[in-house]
């Protein structure tokens, strides 16, 4: 039985293919179109999944869309009615789009599929599970748990903004739901907007900014109190109530009512790219604390109503790695699994799995030790011929290594020399994290590496931290954690014996001065609060990346690398060798490794438009 899942028309469109319950392929449309968070029908991703699976649209048993458009339309109408006459302008903007496209989504999907070779005279079953069921299925079915509590938290699906469920065998039962307009995810997005970042894109920046707040500052406590008394009521069972007098997302064209927020916090809304000040860090820390409280309360409620030992997480809020780390440390559940593509892209995979196990009633087969996602390496790969054709097109100079071990030794030597290396191997990752197949790598021991990567390679804000990849067997040597974190979704502290003391008066330093103070013997990956967002690398899940890291360890004694996504700011992560070479030449990256091929920047012909990307990509 072969099923195609699709998510589209909001943000992060994607497609996923499963065969007899096993995940064959999954990819986001943005990686093909080079438009970040592309919301259009994922034609390229669908085409890839079908080709990789060796099938056609009419040979499928079902095509499954990740939510119910009619239920979402009902929520839209009821919300406008409840808030009338407020929101008339937004209503008049939204209705033509819904009446033209989204309301008749079944017809739209068939039209788009027909363009890809689907024959409407031989119809394939078209299914529409609910949004949060797709999220739940994306987390539970690939997990190794026979039974688990399921927690999904995001902005909003149709009506639900969070849900608690129970997965047992092939079944999923939704036990409790939080409904729109009350949403922990939308609360966090509102602060993303107020602090000058893009909604549905910059939430991870808000999370990265939070540690710059002073945890001992009374200003942080004041902000937390204002959030919990004026904006949101965080209840013990994990539910939330938002004071809609301060928000405008239900019927307006913006997230918040800015003047009321500015009066409440005594702080003007930060404009994008404006300099960050101490109060911005303190406000970010305040909303992070409130969010963590909400997540922990929901988890405790999930434990209470399910009595399960295991927990699985999905939805956009499940990408909040700091909250995940706190949840893990709280010990509410014995084991936790987080879907690496927790956002809407992962809904495509969840929709397909929900159809297979729930609609078609097929049994689960758990014959894997950790999870069924193959390390999330589910996207396209490439051949040596493709690399050579790309090099020929650009007259690129390269060295080919027949022995991959020799290539790893040379790349490790370059990294130890503090060179920055683009690393492209095998299948592209599914989800927002680069996990060693489409990565930019650096030496974590370098005091200058974070600044170099931010300003000369990624061209992004200097405050943003970088994540470490660590050899799985050596994780506890560097961090206060000895478990698995293959998907870079957990934050844990650097070990005490690796930290450096903070200078007197450190809490009063500016954000810039805090940033460039060395906090450990791995300064490039140690965040302002001594934390790090970990990826543990297992030799069986990603043998090539592990081999490179092992070569670096043998040369330097360090089993850690800086790992950031292979892209510049505003660009999707690279997909093809051509994408990688273009990004390599537009930046001040030193070397590029694609498969068995090593490219030295100094040997390459001039690239005529090095800064072209600044006009091509919208800054996120």
**pLDDT attached to residue 460:** 81
Is position 11 within any domain? Answer: yes
Query: In terms of pLDDT, which residue wins out, 137 or 458?
Result: 137
**pLDDT attached to residue 87:** 61
CATH of the domain at 441: 3.90.870.20
How far is Cα 103 from Cα 186, in angstroms, rounded to an integer? 24
Q: Show the DSSP H helices in 21-165 as ranges.
A: 30-33, 43-53, 69-83, 88-100, 105-115, 131-140
Which residues have C-beta within 8 Å of that of residue 177, sequence separation ≥ 6?
132, 159, 160, 162, 163, 164
**pLDDT attached to residue 615:** 61
Which residues have C-beta within 8 Å of that of residue 179, sequence separation ≥ 6?
159, 160, 161
Is position 476 within any domain? Answer: yes
Answer yes or no: is pLDDT of 442 > 70.
Answer: yes
Residue 442 contacts residue 393 (beta carbons within 8 Å): no
pLDDT in tens, 580-592: 999 999 999 999 9
How far is Cα 375 from Cα 435, in angstroms, rounded to an integer? 8
Helices 321-330 and 278-306, axial angle in degrees (round to 10): 50
Mean predicted confidence (pLDDT) in 161-178: 98
pLDDT band of residue 520 (cuts 50, 70, 90) is very high
Answer yes or no: is pLDDT of 81 > 60.
Answer: no
Residue 282 contacts residue 172 (beta carbons within 8 Å): no
Range of the domain at 202: 144-338
Mean predicted confidence (pLDDT) in 231-257: 91
Is position 379 within any domain? Answer: no
**pLDDT attached to residue 68:** 85
Please state, for a pLDDT cut of 90, what percent of the chain lies above it: 82
**pLDDT attached to residue 98:** 58
447 and 355 fall within a common domain: no
Assigned token pair, 146: 């026979």
Chain position carrying tokens 């028309």: 9
How far is Cα 69 from Cα 550, in angstroms, rounded to an integer? 49
**pLDDT attached to residue 527:** 92
CATH of the domain at 90: 3.30.420.40
Please state, for a pLDDT cut of 70, what percent of the chain lies above it: 93
Element (H, E) at 63: strand 62-65
Query: In terms of pLDDT, which residue wins out, 594 or 502?
Result: 594
Answer yes or no: is pLDDT of 610 > 70.
Answer: no
Residue 39: other Cβ atoms inside 10 A: 17
485 and 554 fall within a common domain: yes
457 and 578 fall within a common domain: yes
How far is Cα 595 from Cα 188, in angstroms, rounded to an integer? 40
Helices 69-83 and 88-100, axial angle in degrees (round to 10): 160
How far is Cα 313 from Cα 299, in angstroms, rounded to an integer? 10
124 and 174 fall within a common domain: no
Mean predicted confidence (pLDDT) in 174-181: 96
Mean predicted confidence (pLDDT) in 209-221: 94
Is position 135 within any domain? Answer: yes
Is position 246 within any domain? Answer: yes
Assigned token pair, 372: 């069924």
Mean predicted confidence (pLDDT) in 123-133: 95
pLDDT in tens, 345-386: 999 999 999 999 999 999 999 999 999 999 999 999 999 999
Of the chain, the end-to-end C-alpha distance in Å amounts to 40
pLDDT band of residue 158 (cuts 50, 70, 90) is confident
112 and 137 fall within a common domain: yes
**Three-class SS state of 555:** helix
DSSP annotation string for 409-437: HHHHHHHHTT--EEEE-SSPBSSS---SS
388 and 362 fall within a common domain: no
pLDDT in tens, 56-71: 999 999 999 999 876 7
Chain-wide mean pLDDT for the chain? 93
231 and 153 fall within a common domain: yes
pLDDT band of residue 513 (cuts 50, 70, 90) is confident
pLDDT band of residue 130 (cuts 50, 70, 90) is very high
Is position 82 within any domain? Answer: yes
545 and 460 fall within a common domain: yes
Q: How many CA atoms lie within 13 A of 543 on its CB side?
A: 3
Is position 378 within any domain? Answer: no
Assigned token pair, 491: 């934050």
In sequence order, the β-bridge partners of residue 171 are: 168
pLDDT in tens, 22-49: 999 999 999 999 999 999 999 999 999 9
Using only the alpha carbons of the chain, give its radius of gyration: 24
136 and 185 fall within a common domain: no
216 and 177 fall within a common domain: yes
Look at 92-96, 132-136, 218-222, 508-512 and tell me which has the smallest mean pLDDT.
Answer: 92-96
**Structural domains counted in the chain:** 3
287 and 432 fall within a common domain: no
pLDDT band of residue 458 (cuts 50, 70, 90) is confident
pLDDT band of residue 444 (cuts 50, 70, 90) is very high
How far is Cα 315 from Cα 135, in angstroms, rounded to an integer? 6
Mean predicted confidence (pLDDT) in 564-585: 96
Answer yes or no: is pLDDT of 86 > 80.
Answer: no
110 and 178 fall within a common domain: no
pLDDT band of residue 102 (cuts 50, 70, 90) is low
Query: In terms of pLDDT, which residue wins out, 47 or 96?
Result: 47
Mean predicted confidence (pLDDT) in 104-120: 91
pLDDT band of residue 92 (cuts 50, 70, 90) is low
Look at 41-55, 87-101, 153-167 and tell me which has the smallest mean pLDDT.
Answer: 87-101
Residue 6 contacts residue 57 (beta carbons within 8 Å): no
Answer yes or no: is pLDDT of 605 > 60.
Answer: yes
Is position 377 within any domain? Answer: no
């Amino acid at each position: 039985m072969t099923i195609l899942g699709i998510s589209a028309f909001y943000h992060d469109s994607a497609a996923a293919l499963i065969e007899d319950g096993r995940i064959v392929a999954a990819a986001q449309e943005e990686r093909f179109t080079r438009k970040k968070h592309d919301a259009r029908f994922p034609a390229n991703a669908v085409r890839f999944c079908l080709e990789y699976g060796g099938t056609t649209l009419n040979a499928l048993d079902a095509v499954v869309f990740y939510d119910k458009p009619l239920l979402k339309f009902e929520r839209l109408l009821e919300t406008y009615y409840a808030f009338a006459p407020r929101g008339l302008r937004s209503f008049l903007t939204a209705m033509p789009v819904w009446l033209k496209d989204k309301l008749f989504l079944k017809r739209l999907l068939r039209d788009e599929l027909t363009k890809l070779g689907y024959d409407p005279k031989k119809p394939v079953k078209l299914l529409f599970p609910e949004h949060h069921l797709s999220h739940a299925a994306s987390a539970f079915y690939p997990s190794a748990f026979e039974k688990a509590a399921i927690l999904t938290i995001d902005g909003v699906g149709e009506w639900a903004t969070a849900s608690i469920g129970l997965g047992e065998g092939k079944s999923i039962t939704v036990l409790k739901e939080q409904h729109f307009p009350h949403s922990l995810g939308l609360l966090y997005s509102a602060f993303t907007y107020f602090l000058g970042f893009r909604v549905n894109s910059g939430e991870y920046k808000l999370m990265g900014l939070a540690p710059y707040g002073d945890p001992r500052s009374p200003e942080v406590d004041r902000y937390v109190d204002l959030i919990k008394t004026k904006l949101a009521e965080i209840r013990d069972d994990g539910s939330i109530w938002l004071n809609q007098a301060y928000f405008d997302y239900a019927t307006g064209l913006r997230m918040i009512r800015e003047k009321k927020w500015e009066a409440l916090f005594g702080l003007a809304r930060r404009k994008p790219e404006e300099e960050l000040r101490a109060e911005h860090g303190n406000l970010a820390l305040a909303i992070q604390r409130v969010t963590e409280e909400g997540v922990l309360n929901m988890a405790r409620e999930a434990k209470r109503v399910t009595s399960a030992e295991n927990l699985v997480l999905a939805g956009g809020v499940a990408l909040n790695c700091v909250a995940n780390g706190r949840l893990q440390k709280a010990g509410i559940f014995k084991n936790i699994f987080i879907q690496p593509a927790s956002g809407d892209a992962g809904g495509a995979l969840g929709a397909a799995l929900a159809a297979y196990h729930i609609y078609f009633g097929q049994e689960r087969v758990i014959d894997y030790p950790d999870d069924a996602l193959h390390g999330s390496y589910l996207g396209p790969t490439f051949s040596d011929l493709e690399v050579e054709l790309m090099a020929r097109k650009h007259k690129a100079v390269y060295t080919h290594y027949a022995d991959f071990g020799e290539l790893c030794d040379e790349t490790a030597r370059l990294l130890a020399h503090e060179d920055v290396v683009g690393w492209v191997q095998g299948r592209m990752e599914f989800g927002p994290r680069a996990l060693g197949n489409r990565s930019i790598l650096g030496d974590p021991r370098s005091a200058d590496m974070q600044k170099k990567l931010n300003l000369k390679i990624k061209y992004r804000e200097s405050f943003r931290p970088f994540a470490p990849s660590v050899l799985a067997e050596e994780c506890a040597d560097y961090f206060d954690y000895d478990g698995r974190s293959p998907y870079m979704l957990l934050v844990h502290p650097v070990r005490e014996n690796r930290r450096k003391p903070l200078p007197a008066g450190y809490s009063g330093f500016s954000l810039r001065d805090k940033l460039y103070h060395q906090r450990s013997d791995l300064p490039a990956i140690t965040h302002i609060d001594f934390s790090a967002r970990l990826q543990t690398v297992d030799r069986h899940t990603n043998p090539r990346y592990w081999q490179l890291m092992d070569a670096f360890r043998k040369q330097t004694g360090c089993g850690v690398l800086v790992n950031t996504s292979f892209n510049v700011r505003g660009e999707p992560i690279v997909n093809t060798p051509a994408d990688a070479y273009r990004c390599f030449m537009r930046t001040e990256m030193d070397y590029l490794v694609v498969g068995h091929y090593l490219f030295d920047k100094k040997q390459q012909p001039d690239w005529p438009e090095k800064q072209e990307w600044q006009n091509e990509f919208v800054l996120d």
